[in-house]
């Protein structure tokens, strides 16, 4: 028995970095250049004793601002439709952006199990951004650093009770 976790969020918040950390292979390309990762990518996730399927939503990096929202909505819809749990990620250093708010509204309306991740929170850098994330109305933000591997125990604590139901 396993569950499927979809990682969603606007471009550049660190979705693919987290995907790579959970999957442990470099299946999703991480790059600062636009146009590198595309659409949905699946892998076998592992976090301590938890095993699950992870979906990384990409394909958002290569579109202009005008089409970004529509494409985000389509891809997120696809990822979320298949997922048992959605991890909505923000950049804790950047704080909550209008695009994050739009995204959070879409997810909240859809319902289902949604976790809120505040990435790039290594050290104390992301503290205020993580606090800001409470305003999204998606519950308690989970601060972590996908790049540095910090806060993975908090992510585990959030996923573990969900895993138990599968
Ligand atoms: P995506 O577009 O959401 O998939 O984001 P990426 O995983 O491609 O990461 C975008 C940028 O954020 C890259 O330069 C990453 O190195 C950086 N990044 C990802 N995770 C972290 C983190 O935990 N801390 C910091 N400081 N940077 C990060
Ligand atoms: Mg990516």
ipTM: 0.99
Answer yes or no: is the C-beta of 91 below 6 A from any ligand 1 atom.
no
User: Per-residue pLDDT tens for 86-102?
Assistant: 999 999 999 999 989 98
Dist. CA 37 → ligand 2 center (Å): 6
Mean pLDDT of the chain: 87
Helix axes 98-110, 65-82, angle to 10 degrees: 30
Average pLDDT in the 47-61 region? Answer: 85
Out of 11, 15, 17, mutate this one to test ligand 1's pocket (max ligand atoms within 8 Å of CB): namely 17
Dist. CA 165 → ligand 1 center (Å): 31
Q: Which of 161, 165, 104 is nearest to 137 (CA)?
A: 104
């Amino acid at each position: 028995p396993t569950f499927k976790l979809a990682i969603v969020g606007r471009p550049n918040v660190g979705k693919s970095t987290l995907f790579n950390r959970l999957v442990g292979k470099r299946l999703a390309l991480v790059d600062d250049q636009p146009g590198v990762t595309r659409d949905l990518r699946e892998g076998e996730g592992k976090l301590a004793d938890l095993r699950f399927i992870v979906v990384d939503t990409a394909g958002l990096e290569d579109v202009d601002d005008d089409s970004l929202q529509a494409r985000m909505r389509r891809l997120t819809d696809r990822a979320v439709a298949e997922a048992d749990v959605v991890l909505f990620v923000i950049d804790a250093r950047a704080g909550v952006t209008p695009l994050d708010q739009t995204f959070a509204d879409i997810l909240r309306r859809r319902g289902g199990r949604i976790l809120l991740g505040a990435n790039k929170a290594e050290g104390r850098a992301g503290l205020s951004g993580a606090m800001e994330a409470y305003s999204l109305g998606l519950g308690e933000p989970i601060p972590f650093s996908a790049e540095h591997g910090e806060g993975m125990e908090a992510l585990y604590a959030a996923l573990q009770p969900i895993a138990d139901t599968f």
